[in-house]
């Protein structure tokens, strides 16, 4: 019989940016912009409260993504609690390409595991990652949300896999967040089913270069972030975002569409470099200078 811990448990989980230009569905980076979840096993029923991003628009029932993830984890851990209270304090914007759904999935799984006595012995990080990737459908955001840092992920006949790679401490980012979102489904729907061999080869070369650039050769980030496979194809859904990417890159700033967009991410040389770039934020958008998060989802004391 599953045994649950007494009292509330709090979990923090970072925003993430995937693709990073050429690394489509494979590269992901954790960012120091964090949602916080608080959960507690209750007598009966379900109570969900959302503060911040998504407040007033996301469902407050079993269909809430954090709740769905928690239910999946409880099933894997041996049983559902009699009742559940959940409070989500969200700062990661929704439908902007900053991994809000992965934060919800990973945060919910980690929270549920922490609410079960000895949960990490039954559902370790490897099993939790596999469950998160299956729920999300691809691993590029859930991996850095769980592990932190910069990760390289994929899927093959043996399942989902991931590994971490270093990030030079000089590297920070600026994210430019537009007021309106674009759904991942719309953004993916614009991609062709086939691509030219030359474009695939060009992206493969730049993906390899990007791993090296982030690890300690940031002078190569502009060339390394050039994409051939998905950004230009998405321009009809986010013309202002691609216009900003074009303008920044014309000034030698390594800028990309973050995930499925429409947020624009630019790599900079530390916080000071990021502060200088804030003046490029379009009217009505929000801009944030963010460090790379070296930690993923974690339980707070």
| C-alpha–C-alpha distance, residues 260 and 52, integer Å | 22
CB contact burial 211-242 (16+ within 10 A = b; e otherwise) = bebbeeebebbbebbbbbbbbeebbebbebbb
Residue 93 counted as an annotated binding residue: yes
Residue 100 counted as an annotated binding residue: yes
Residue 287 counted as an annotated binding residue: no
Residue 97 counted as an annotated binding residue: yes
Residue 101 counted as an annotated binding residue: yes
Residue 223 counted as an annotated binding residue: no
Residue 297 counted as an annotated binding residue: no
Matching residue, tokens 């096993």: 41
Distance of CA 106 to the CA centre of its chain: 10
CB contact burial 157-174 (16+ within 10 A = b; e otherwise) = eeebbbeeeebeeebbbb
Residue 242 counted as an annotated binding residue: no
Residue 99 counted as an annotated binding residue: yes
Residue 154 counted as an annotated binding residue: no
Beta bridge partners of residue 289, listed in sequence order: 174
| C-alpha–C-alpha distance, residues 75 and 55, integer Å | 28
Query: Residues at the annotated binding site for ATP?
Result: 93-103
Query: Residues at the annotated binding site?
Result: 93-103
């Amino acid at each position: 019989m599953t045994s649950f811990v007494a009292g509330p448990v709090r979990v923090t989980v970072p925003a993430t940016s995937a693709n990073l230009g050429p690394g489509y569905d494979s590269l992901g980076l954790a960012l120091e912009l964090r949602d916080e979840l608080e959960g507690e096993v209750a007598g009966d029923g379900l109570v969900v409260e959302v503060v911040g991003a998504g407040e007033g628009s996301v469902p407050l029932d079993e269909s809430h993504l954090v709740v769905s993830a928690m239910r999946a984890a409880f099933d894997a851990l041996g049983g559902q609690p009699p009742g559940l209270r959940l409070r989500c304090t969200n700062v990661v914007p929704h439908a902007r390409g900053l991994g809000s759904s992965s934060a919800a999935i990973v945060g919910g799984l980690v929270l549920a595991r922490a609410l079960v006595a000895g949960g990490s012995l039954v559902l370790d990080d490897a099993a939790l990652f596999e469950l998160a990737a299956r729920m999300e459908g691809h691993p590029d955001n859930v991996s850095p949300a769980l592990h932190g840092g910069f990760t390289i992920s994929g899927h093959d006949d043996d399942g989902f896999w991931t590994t971490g790679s270093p990030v030079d401490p000089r590297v920070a980012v600026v994210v430019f967040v537009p007021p309106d979102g674009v759904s991942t489904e719309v953004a993916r729907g614009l991609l062709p089913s086939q691509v030219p061999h030359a474009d695939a080869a060009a992206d493969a070369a730049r993906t390899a270069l990007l791993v090296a650039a982030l690890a300690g050769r940031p002078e190569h980030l502009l060339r390394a972030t050039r994409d051939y496979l998905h950004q230009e194809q998405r321009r009809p859904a986010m013309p202002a975002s691609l216009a900003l990417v074009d303008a920044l890159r014309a000034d030698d700033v390594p800028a990309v569409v973050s995930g499925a967009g429409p947020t624009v991410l630019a790599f900079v040389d530390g916080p000071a470099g990021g502060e200088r770039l804030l003046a490029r934020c379009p009217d009505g958008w929000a801009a944030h200078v963010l460090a790379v998060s070296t930690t993923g989802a974690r339980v707070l004391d």
